[in-house]
C-alpha cells in the first residue's frame, strides 16, 4: 500500500499517521525520542506491508500485470492508492479533501520536532500534496512517469514504471475488483492492533 492507505490505516493521531508513512523511507528505524504514537505507527506499517505482500489477492493483481517484473509491487501499491481514492467514500467517514487537508495542517506542526531525514520526507509529502495524487488514470500514469525519473539507468534498461500503464489499463476492472475484495480484509486485519476508539474515521 502507498501513502494514502497508510495514512488512512492509522489511529487518529498525527504522530501515528506520520510514523505509519515514515516506516518505508526510514526503513522502520525510529529515533530515540520519538513518541509512542510514532513508534506504534511504524509498527503498524510493517504489519500492513507483511499482510499485503503475502496476500493471495495481491499476488493475483501482480500476475495480472505480467509474469515477471521487479517493479510490479510498487505499481500495485500506486494502483491500489488510485482505487482507494476512487472508492474513498466506501471506507471513510471523512471526505478525502477534508482528511488530507487536516493531515497536512497537523503534519506541518510536527516538523518542529522531527529529525532532519524525517522532516524532509514530511515536507515533501505536504508540498507535493502526495496524499491526493490519484484522482484519474492519467494522474496514475503521471506517477509512473515520475517514478522513472528516480530509477537507475541499469533498471530502466530492463523495465520502466511507465511501461506498466498499458498493463494496468487493460486489466483495470479486474484490478479494481481485486482491491475491493482485499482492502476490507486488510482493514479487519489491521484493526486488531489498533485502539478501536481512535479509528472513528473508518466506516468498516
Q: How far is CA 52 from the centre of its chain?
A: 11
pTM of the model: 0.94
- Yes or no: say if 45 and 28 are a contact pair by the CB < 8 Å rule: yes
Cβ(119)–Cβ(111) below 8 Å: yes
In sequence order, what are the beta bridge partners of 202? 92
109-166: per-residue pLDDT in tens?
A: 999 999 999 999 999 999 999 999 899 999 999 999 999 999 999 999 899 999 999 9
Helix (H, G, I), strand (E, B) or coil at 128: coil
Amino acid at each position: 500500500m502507498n501513502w494514502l492507505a497508510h495514512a488512512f490505516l492509522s489511529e487518529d493521531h498525527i504522530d501515528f499517521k506520520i510514523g505509519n508513512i515514515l516506516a518505508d523511507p526510514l526503513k522502520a528505524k525510529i529515533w530515540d525520542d520519538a513518541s509512542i504514537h510514532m513508534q506504534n505507527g511504524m509498527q503498524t506499517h510493517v504489519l500492513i506491508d507483511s499482510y499485503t505482500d503475502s496476500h493471495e489477492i495481491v499476488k493475483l493483481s501482480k500476475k495480472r500485470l505480467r509474469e515477471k517484473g521487479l517493479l510490479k509491487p510498487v505499481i500495485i501499491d500506486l494502483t491500489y492508492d488510485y482505487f482507494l481514492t476512487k472508492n474513498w467514500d466506501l471506507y471513510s467517514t471523512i471526505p478525502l479533501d477534508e482528511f488530507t487537508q487536516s493531515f497536512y495542517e497537523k503534519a506541518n506542526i510536527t516538523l518542529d520536532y522531527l529529525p532532519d531525514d524525517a522532516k524532509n520526507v514530511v515536507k515533501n509529502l505536504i508540498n507535493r500534496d502526495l496524499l491526493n495524487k490519484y484522482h484519474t488514470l492519467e494522474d496514475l500514469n503521471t506517477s509512473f512517469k515520475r517514478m522513472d525519473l528516480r530509477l537507475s539507468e541499469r533498471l530502466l534498461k530492463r523495465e520502466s514504471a511507465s511501461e506498466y500503464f498499458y498493463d494496468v489499463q487493460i486489466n483495470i476492472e479486474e484490478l479494481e475488483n481485486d482491491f475491493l475484495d482485499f482492502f476490507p480484509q486488510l482493514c479487519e486485519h489491521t484493526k486488531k492492533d489498533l485502539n478501536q476508539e481512535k479509528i472513528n474515521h473508518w466506516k468498516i
